[in-house]
Amino acid sequence: MKLDDLQKIAEHEVDFQRAYKHRINVCCSSGCVPFGALKVLKAFQEAVREFGVEKECKVARTGCVGTCSVGPAVIIDPGDYLYQSVTPEKVREIVRDHIVLGLPVKDMLYHGEAFFKKQRRLVLRNAGKIDPSRIEDYIAMGGYSAIGKCLATMTPQGVIYEVSRSGLRGRGGAGFPTGQKWSLVARTHTTPKYIVANLDEGDPGVFANRTLAEADPHAIIEGMLIAAYAVGAEKGYIYIRAEYPLAIQTLQKAIAQAKGMSLLGDNVLETGFKFDLELRFGAGAFVAGEETAILASVEGRRAMPRPRPPYPANSGLWGKPTLIQNVETLANIPVIIQNGGEWFSKVGTAKCSGTKCFSLTGQINNPGLIEVPMGITLREVVYDIGGGMQDNRPFKAVLVGGPSGGCLPEALLDLPIDYDSLTKVGAIMGSGGIVVIDDQSCMVDTAKFFTDFCVEESCGKCVPCRAGLVKIKETFENITQGTGKLDDIAALDKAGQYIKEASLCGLGQTAPNPVLTTLRYFRDEYVEHIVEKKCRAGKCFRNLKKEEDDAQ
Amino acid sequence: MLKDDNRKMMLDKVIKKFDYEASSLLEILHKAQEFYGYLDKNLMTYIANALRLPPSHVVGVATFYSFFKLKAPGEHVVTGCLGTACYVKAVDEIMTAIEQEFHLKRGGSTSDGKLSLFTTRCIGACAMAPNIIVDDEVIGKATKEVVLERVRLTLAGGGRRS
């Protein structure tokens, strides 16, 4: 297949889709499938036949719409009507009233317009709109035209220049400038070179990468193709969690389709450019998200990090130059090439351009998957997009950045979301988890929960992380069981600082964040636990209570 | 060594497909677990020999990753999601209720081998938290009552899970 053919497929597909008057998009992502989305899909297919409107209605299986808490979600176009919590029983009524009579069923519609209002969808541009199992759907949205443009009109240096100009920074959490990373790999003369796309997402409470892969797998593949062209790599791996079966299946299918159309392989779009792609499965190790650990895992070893330098850009997979990028970063690339780096740099803030996807969960009214421009405030995310606190309970804290992120109090809600301001207050962007908690949660208990997680996930290679975190865990046990001392507060603080400074990799360097931020912003709760043996939320001292009950 | 059955044949095929490459160890362990349900010592030794790796290396890798099971699970498996969102929504209380009613501990099985209780770090359905998985069915926005009832029904239904 040549570049011109791509254009023809797109035109043909657009004509094909125009022949339908309505498009019924049923969200069949991992969030909606367990709650009956596939049955809903089947019910729609049957209902349009029953009412004799199958020629004017295209029923499509799509990826995540974003409103995960009211799944299964269905969008009917034109008009962008979003139906919530659709069951097979409701489908007949929707088809009859909405499609046949032209009267949308008002009381089944989702009324959280605010959920979408402040979002900006670049990475999730096609999520919920295309059928991820059809490459033609992606091509019709302009897909693969960016790699076409690169191959036909741009030099690798030109591509890197455009990416640098966009100001895009790595979405895996650390925020390293993408263009700079690419030029480091491009500059080395050793071959072969590799690309590893990180889709491991070991943080509990985070599902943005999975959702992206389920909704728009080709955006990741196209991003990898462009990166490969720019840095001169011929082979790539997508490292994906084995716990994500639907995302794996979707990607496998997408890779096969891309190969079938010569978009991957020995002669991409008949230009002589070579790039091949394989999946590699993770197996449940949080530390595998770290760039040197992911390399060890792809090589079939324990996911243990090693000291840097040498950096993977010089010595990565099997000692060869390797570009490691988060899949969200890669999915931004086609948009940057299509619209230009300068256009992209105007989205978001001056220092942090573009958008960020977050899994927004916890005690709020509209949990789900969101994509917001950088610089939006936490308050806007929690109250405008998230719809405020569930049951109107008092806000207590927001956890940003997963188990090694920070717990931020109400006073910091007006903080703009970008790498630097989050780091300043002790949190991190992480791979994009925001969990909102109310007064039913105890901050000491929450910090203990994250510490337990990091103790289990520490690979054990370096002492500060392996032994230090256990020490913190023991101190927490004392405090939450009633044997804590006031000195423990200073001890926790000191241990946290040491671990942060002395650990080998990102896991250890960020693991104390929940401890340090809760100490900083919720110190009175620690004091209460130690001095008064009191837990406001009633989460701690359970053993103590039990002993009292038993004694009576 | 391993019994000469279909599963061994499939495993051999996978190992061959990966060209006996040591770097495909994780892929092969995944497939082995899929075929056999869990990885026991014999299985790991067999894979080690096939890939010409020391058995200690294979065991080291298999024990490092939490996805690999080293013990046979019970007939029915209940898995609680311990992701942050589920934790915040008190999944712990549901887990404790299961432990108390069916007399088992997290990570273990009942003495008759009918039920195992596992935890997983995050299934990524956080908006539906708390999530409990009973055999292969995900129960979202789970409550103690619903889950206990479902487990009781599952156990009463008997039979091996498909």
Which residues 6+ apart lie within 8 Å of A403 measured at CB?
Answer: A203, A204, A205, A286, A450, A453, A454, A511, A514, B84
Residues in chain A with CB shorter than 8 Å from the CB of B83 are 204-205
- pLDDT of res. A322: 98
Q: Are B83 and A205 in contact (CB under 8 A)?
A: yes
At A221, list the tokens. Answer: 């593949």
Q: Which of A549, A528, A551 is nearest to A540 (CA)?
A: A528
Q: Which of residues 379-408 of A touch B (CB under 8 A)?
A: 399, 402-403
ipTM of the complex: 0.91
Residues in chain A with CB shorter than 8 Å from the CB of B67 are 242-243, 282-284
Question: Per CB distance under 8 Å, which residues of B are interface residues toward A?
Answer: 21-27, 29-30, 60-61, 64-68, 82-89, 120-129, 137-138, 140
- pLDDT of res. A551: 65
Q: What is the mean pLDDT of each run of 10 residues along chain A (552 residues)?
A: 92 94 94 90 97 95 91 92 95 96 94 88 96 96 97 97 98 92 97 96 85 97 98 97 92 98 96 96 92 96 96 97 97 98 97 95 93 97 96 96 92 96 92 92 95 95 97 97 96 97 95 97 97 94 69 63
Q: Do the Cβ atoms of A399 and B84 come within 8 Å?
A: yes
Distance CA A354, CA A168 (A): 7
- pLDDT of res. A34: 84
3-state secondary structure A333-358: HHHHHHHCHHHHHCCECCCCECEEEE
Q: Which of A39, A196, A207 to substitute to test the interface with B, most B CBs within 10 Å?
A: A207
- pLDDT of res. B5: 84
Instruction: Point out the residue among B86, B123, B137 whose CB comes nearest to the CB of A243.
Output: B123
Residues in chain B with CB shorter than 8 Å from the CB of A449 are 84, 87
Q: Measured between CB atoms, does A435 come within 8 Å of chain B? A: yes
SS3 A152: helix
SS3 B34: helix
Q: In this structure, what DSSP letter does residue A481 have? A: H
Q: Measured between CB atoms, does A31 come within 8 Å of chain B? A: yes
Instruction: Point out the residue among A205, A302, A456 whose CB comes nearest to the CB of B122.
Output: A205
- Tell me the average pLDDT of chain B: 91
Q: Measured between CB atoms, does A201 come within 8 Å of chain B? A: yes
Using CA coordinates, name the residue in chain B closest to A285: B65
Distance CA A43, CA A70 (A): 18
Helix A327-339 to helix A208-215 angle (10° resolution) is 50
User: At residue A262, what is the residue type?
Assistant: S
- Sign of the Cα pseudo-torsion (A450, A453, A459, A464, in order): positive
Q: Do the Cβ atoms of A30 and B124 come within 8 Å?
A: yes
Q: Are B26 and A283 in contact (CB under 8 A)?
A: yes
Which residues 6+ apart lie within 8 Å of A209 measured at CB?
Answer: A199, A201, A326, A327, A328, A431
Q: Which of A84, A302, A457, A458 to substitute to test the interface with B, most B CBs within 10 Å?
A: A302
Place of tokens 């200690």: B56
pLDDT at B93 over 60: yes
Q: Are B66 and A241 in contact (CB under 8 A)?
A: no
Distance CA B158, CA A461 (A): 45
Q: Are A324 and A236 in contact (CB under 8 A)?
A: no
Q: Are A409 and A436 in contact (CB under 8 A)?
A: no
Distance CA B69, CA B65 (A): 9
- pLDDT of res. B159: 43
Q: What is the DSSP string of B70-137?
A: -S---SEEEEEE-SHHHHHTTHHHHHHHHHHHHT--TT-B-TTSSEEEEEES--S-GGG-S-EEETTE
Distance CA A245, CA A257 (A): 18
Q: Do the Cβ atoms of A281 and B123 come within 8 Å?
A: no
Q: Do the Cβ atoms of B30 and A242 come within 8 Å?
A: yes
* Confidence bin at B161 (pLDDT 50/70/90): very low
Q: Are A217 and A69 in contact (CB under 8 A)?
A: no
- In this structure, the dihedral spanned by the alpha carbons of residues A91, A96, A97 and A102, taken in order and rounded to 10 degrees, is 120
- Sign of the Cα pseudo-torsion (A491, A492, A493, A497, in order): positive
Q: Do the Cβ atoms of B125 and A242 come within 8 Å?
A: no
> CA distances (Å), B3 to each of A49, B12, B40, B46, B76, in order?
51, 12, 13, 11, 25
- Sign of the Cα pseudo-torsion (A87, B139, A431, A283, in order): negative
At A8, list the tokens. Answer: 């023809």
- pLDDT of res. A114: 85
A175–chain B nearest CA distance, Å: 23
Alpha helical stretches, state H, A70-144? 88-94, 113-117, 135-140
> CA distances (Å), A163 to each of A334, A357, B63, in order?
10, 19, 41
Instruction: Point out the residue among B30, B83, B125 whose CB comes nearest to the CB of A283.
Output: B30
At B145, list the tokens. Answer: 């009552």
Q: Which of A333, A378, A414, A295 is nearest to A171 (CA)?
A: A333
- pLDDT of res. A232: 98
Q: Measured between CB atoms, does A205 come within 8 Å of chain B? A: yes
Number of other CB atoms surrounding residue A353 within 10 Å: 24
Q: Which residues are registered as beta bridge partners of A71? A: none
